[in-house]
Amino acid sequence: MILEFSIDYRTSSSIYEKLFLQTLKEHSLNGKIVKEHFLLKLYVEADTADALESFATSLSSVLPHSIFVRQTSAQLVEEMPDTDYEIEEQKKYPLPFCPQCLQRVMDSKNRDYYNIYTACDACGYNVSGENRSYKKEFEEAAVTIKAGKVLEVNTFYGKYYVGIPAKICNTIPFDIVVYDLATVEKYANVEKYEITALGSFEKPLIKLKKKLSFTMDHEEVEADLIRFKLPDDFILHLLMEELHNVGIDAVFITKKKIPAQEKLLLTDFKEELDPIEVVVSENDVVIVSGEKGLPQFPLNAKEVNPSIGSFFSVVREHQLADENIAGISLSKEYKNNLLVYGKKYGIVEYLSFNFEFESMQEIFDKIVNSDENGSKIVANYQKKYPEHFERISGIIFEDKSFNLFKLWGVVAMVLDYTSSNDPIKAAEVLEENAISFLGEKGPRIDYKLLNIDGKVYLDPLMTIRTAMSFRLAGVDPLMLSYGVIESFLEFLANELDEMKQNMDITAITASGSLLSNKHLFSKMSREISVNHNIYFNNELPVDGRNMFYGGMSL
């Protein structure tokens, strides 16, 4: 009897393959592995149904949930495949602990009880040391933190400073490490699919809006949006175990060097690696930043066009070169556009989301001169908010080139959501407002197209003036900020629907750091996928390194 496991498995780390082989060995059974791009098939052969059932039960207990797994299925088949995939000889990725190793470390009767160097072929950080129990050291460290002191800690992937969340968090970049998923649900507004991702094998960071309960327990911490994660190595895991025993289920962690009263330096790390941060929807996960546990992709060292390089990075990861593709480039730093690609005609810029402004006064003058309604909006705005209008009218932009993110920054400045004159910093305020919005619908902001000399552009003035109208109407800042982003996605979905009809588009790609906005990403993943096959970067962050990988296609 032969059982086939079929897994949509979008990682090159070989975790599932290695754990499958380990389980085969434990059960003294024969098996084979077949891998075709993202499709992983695991075959096991046994003489009886009971033996297959026993194997399947064991395998399900050791295979961790992964952010890179989409769908799984199992069925009986007639014969083994002719080929057998061999795991490449490669440097083992620096990865969190697997379920088996965790069980050994937490079993007081096991020789690896509280042994931080416990690892197997599938997991761990390739760091060796004295194999013994380190329970005493973690008990003492927990007492130190409970006393309100900061602890300097060496993890297997870098040096950090750890303590109870307090006033110091207002002056440093920090994340929150929690004891378990229940603590995340207690302290943050989190979706079920975000909880699933947080609990995955990769233990990623996810940015969440804190709840009132977090403020009540840590009232000195001012940040509203905070990145949360579970422990991702045995140093942090065992530290959180002992902290939980003394009543502490959340600590801040920072790479910023700050005064520390005690040290927990049980190991040295080979290299400093940034943990991955992800953004999650019901159907998709993308990596925002970080490198820990990810493969080293070959990168083109030459200069590349950011939007084109990012586009081809998604094409390469998903093997889409034979498709007719519309590519959405939404970077905070680089130019934004909508590209069209086909093997017959190559790549063409279909729609630009880039603009040029000299000053805020130029923007107001153009709105006034656009039509009678535009003139009335500016006049009413100046009358209702005279001091604010006078202040922002004097703003001169140092960088005259604008993308979509900087346009949102102009909107935030006009709506008086920020005192900053920097469009990028202002856009960050609008983005945080939108992420903090807990409703389901915002006001409809206009995104209209202009045709100039045969080239199509987004008209930024319509976006700004409709936002001004809603502020005049007294719309809540969080709701209005959400509407600015939501309306763009609705506009984009309509454009893509028309392109599919008129240009035979068969696939959509999306890249860029704007995807880090959970509302934008979730809405794009959910609504555009209704009528299209949409693809994002897989093992590459959505901005930065991806463009140099994609640049190798040029």
The answer to whether residue 302 scores a pLDDT higher than 80 is no
Rounded alpha-carbon distances, angstroms, from residue 232 to 197, 204, 265, 317, 526: 13, 8, 17, 26, 29
CA atoms of 312 and 327, how far apart (whole Å): 9
Residue 365 dihedral angles phi and psi, to the nearest 5°: -60, -40
Q: Which two tokens stand for residue 190?
A: 């989190």
Burial of 181 per CB tally in 10 Å (0-12, 13-18, 19+): middle
User: Considering only CA atoms, which of 197, 172, 173, 174 is closest in space to residue 184?
Assistant: 197
Q: With a cut of 80, say whether residue 88 has pLDDT above it.
A: no
Q: Kindly give, in sequence order, each residue whose CB lies less than 8 Å from that of residue 345, ignoring residues fewer than 6 positions away.
A: none
Query: Which phi and psi angles does 541 have, rounded to 5°?
Result: -60, 155
Residue 450 pLDDT more than 90? Answer: no
438, pLDDT greater than 90: no
Tokens of 193: 């699919």
Per DSSP bridges, beta strands 158-163 and 250-254 are antiparallel
β-pairing, 507-511 with 534-536?
A: parallel
* C-alpha 512 chain-centroid distance: 11
90 has pLDDT over 70: no
User: What integer pLDDT is reported at residue 47 of this predicted model?
Assistant: 95
Question: In the prediction, which pLDDT does 452 show?
Answer: 77
- Give the C-alpha separation, 300 to 553, whole Å: 9
Backbone φ/ψ region at 244: left (φ over 0), alpha (ψ -120 to 50), beta: alpha
Residue 325 pLDDT level (bands cut at 50, 70, 90): very high
Q: Is 348 helix (H, G, I), strand (E, B) or coil?
A: strand
Write the CATH number of the domain with boundaries 2-77: 3.30.70.260
369-403 tens-digit pLDDT: 999 999 999 999 999 999 999 999 999 999 999 99
Selection from 524, 515, 511 nearest residue 310 by Cα = 511
pLDDT category at 301 given cuts 50, 70, 90 is low
Q: Is 345 helix (H, G, I), strand (E, B) or coil?
A: coil
Nearest of 258, 191, 187, 197 to residue 226 by alpha carbon:
187
pLDDT tens per residue across span 123-165 = 999 999 999 999 999 999 999 999 999 999 999 999 999 999 9
Using alpha carbons, select from 405, 354, 401, 399 the residue that is nearest to residue 514: 405
Residue type, 541: P
Mean pLDDT, residues 102-107 taken together: 98
Burial 397-410 (b: 16+ CB within 10 A, else e): beeeebbbbbbbbb
Structure tokens that stand for 43 in this block: 């075959």
d(CA 551, CA 300): 6
Amino acid residing at 142:
A
- Residue 297's pLDDT is what? 86
The share of the chain scoring above pLDDT 70, in percent, equals: 99
DSSP-derived pairing of the beta strands 225-229 and 175-178: parallel
pLDDT range class, residue 64, cuts 50, 70, 90? very high
Q: From the centroid of its chain, how far is CA 548?
A: 19
This prediction's pTM: 0.94
Exposure string for 488-516, b = 16+ CB within 10 A, e = fewer: bbebbbebbeebbeeeebebbbbbbbbbb
Tokens found for residue 473: 């109407």
What is the pLDDT confidence band of residue 551, given thresholds at 50, 70 and 90?
A: confident
DSSP 390: H
Within 78-120, strands assigned E span: none
Rounded (10°) CA dihedral 301, 306, 308, 314: 80
Which DSSP string corresponds to 418-446? -S---HHHHHHHHHHHHHH--SS------
The end-to-end CA distance of the chain, in Å, is 48
Of the candidates 479, 418, 435, 482, the residue with the CA atom closest to the CA atom of residue 209: 435
Token pair of 389 as six digits: 């209008």
Alpha helices in 28-119 (DSSP H): 49-62, 99-106
For the chain, counts of helices (H) and of strands (E): 18, 23
The whole-number pLDDT of residue 553 equals 72
User: In angstroms, how far apart are the furthest CA atoms of the chain?
Assistant: 85
> What is the per-residue pLDDT across 221-264, written as a single tens digit (0 to 9) for each?
999 999 999 999 999 999 999 999 999 999 999 999 999 999 99
- For 497-532, the pLDDT digits (tens) are 999 999 999 999 999 999 999 999 999 999 999 999
| CATH class as words, domain 99-279 | alpha beta
Q: Please tell me whether residue 74 adopts helix, strand or coil conformation.
A: strand
Q: Binning pLDDT at 50, 70 and 90, where does residue 299 land?
A: confident
Q: Which two tokens stand for residue 23?
A: 């389980």
* Residue 436 pLDDT exceeds 70: yes
Q: What is the phi-psi region of residue 324: left when phi exceeds 0, alpha when psi lies from -120 to 50, beta otherwise?
A: beta
Q: What confidence tier does 420 reach under pLDDT thresholds 50, 70, 90?
A: very high
- 554 pLDDT higher than 80: no
What is d(CA 229, CA 478) in angstroms, rounded to the nearest whole number?
26
Domain ranges, ordered by start, for the chain: 2-77, 99-279, 355-494
Using alpha carbons, select from 415, 550, 388, 382 the residue that is nearest to residue 482.
415
Same topology for domains 2-77 and 99-279, yes or no?
Answer: no
| Residue 253, H or E segment | strand 250-254
